[in-house]
Amino acid sequence: MKTDKTKILDEIKIKSDKIKRTVCLMELCGTHSQAVATNGIKNILPKNIKLLSGPGCPVCVTDQGDIDIMVKLALNNVPLAVYGDILNVPGNTMSLEQARQNNADISVVYSVDEALKIKKINPKLVFFGLGFETTAPMTAWAIKNNLTVYSTHKLFPPAMDALLKNKDIKIDGFINPGHVSAIIGTKVYEKFKVPQVITGFDGADILKAIDMLLEQILKKQTKVENEYQRVVKKNGNAKAQKLINEVFEIKDTTWRGLGIIKNSGLKIKKKYQKYDAEFIYQDIIKKIKKEIKIQPSACQCGLVLQGIIEPRQCKLFNKICTPNNPQGACMVSVEGACNIEYRS
Ligand code: SF4
């Protein structure tokens, strides 16, 4: 008897035969990229269906300049709390791990709760806030509970807009991020005139999303479909959105590899500026920004994050660049496209 997965795969084969041309679908969530690899999905798809990883790994899109600022603050005796994934991401001068080896006080935490506990012992503590709409509500809650934060939080839809406007990138459909969509809902994506499906993280969920995208392509439709209704609702999570809006305001921000994207960053509002590390340490940060020397690098993370090249097309992949010797952020995080490809 055929399993659900096999039946969906049969449908995908029928549709891909009808489409004939190469179809490029981009998964926009690092967890989806992991699920694609774990379930061996690229190997079982018809040859003309290409899956690309997008900028969905929060650590990978954190700008080198922000890493430099955090490194310098730590070396200036500001204690930090950071998520473990960011430790080995290279900055222009060094990584946070290297700063730690130079006696900087950097604690690895798994939640803002842990950071709040450390702050009780060490009141100068700064938490490195990063990630998309998924982690921003927790950071907002922690700021309301007196945690000092350096915010590099980012909003996902402006990045999708930037990808669609880039003529060098060919995308026939998006597998929209599942976790982000649980917060922001489905309506926000309707402005993008491209086939989109929001889906879960099982192999069958991803195959179903691919099948639904091919169906839209065949019918020349560009709509947002929600295969993940068990979690994602049309209007998203109102409480989480309220927290974000209460604590943060929107600003332009820099994404590693993608450059400055208008209205894609979250800055702490004036009302909470006594918890805003960017405000508290503004003089040091201004000085650091002037001193930053961008180091030339052969790393092509920027192109990988936009789906312009695949990890193996980078000359350094699995030669100089490995998870033990990462040359770029995409090889550091377990959600990074190069790291996933290395482990596949
Ligand atoms: S393989 Fe390494 S150097 Fe190449 S793009 Fe990926 S992270 Fe950068």
Averages of pLDDT over runs of 10 residues in the chain (344 residues) are 80 95 94 91 94 91 93 96 92 92 96 97 97 97 98 96 91 95 96 96 94 97 95 96 98 92 97 97 91 80 90 93 89 89 88
Domain ranges of the chain: 1-299, 301-343
What SS3 state is found at 248?
Answer: strand
Do the beta carbons of residue 126 and residue 78 sit within 8 Å?
yes
Q: What confidence score (pLDDT) does residue 93 get?
A: 86
Q: Whose CA is nearest to atom 3 of ligand 1?
A: 299
Dist. CA 329 → ligand 1 center (Å): 8
Dist. CA 319 → ligand 1 center (Å): 10
| Rounded distance between C-alpha atoms, residue 243 and residue 245, angstroms | 6
Centroid of chain to Cα 327:
18
Buried b (16+ CB within 10 A) or exposed e, 158-182: bbbbbbeeeeebebbbbbbbbbbbb
Strands 148-151 and 126-129: parallel
The position carrying tokens 């900028």 is: 55
Q: What confidence score (pLDDT) does residue 297 get?
A: 80
What SS3 state is found at 28?
Answer: coil
Q: What confidence score (pLDDT) does residue 2 get?
A: 60
Dist. CA 55 → ligand 1 center (Å): 14
Q: Whose CA is nearest to atom 1 of ligand 1?
A: 317
CA angle 170, 173, 176 (to 5 degrees): 120
The position carrying tokens 């060919």 is: 170
Q: Specify the pTM.
A: 0.92
Mutate to test the pocket of ligand 1, among 301, 308, 339, 343 (most ligand atoms within 8 A of CB): 301
Give me the residues paired with residue 200 across strands. none
Atom in ligand 1 nearest the alpha carbon of residue 317: 1
Q: Cite the DSSP H helix spans in 260-320.
A: 277-280, 282-291, 301-305
| Rounded distance between C-alpha atoms, residue 173 and residue 40, angstroms | 20
Report the CATH superfamily, name and number, of domain 1-299: HypD, alpha/beta domain 1 (3.40.50.11750)
CA angle 94, 95, 99 (to 5 degrees): 80
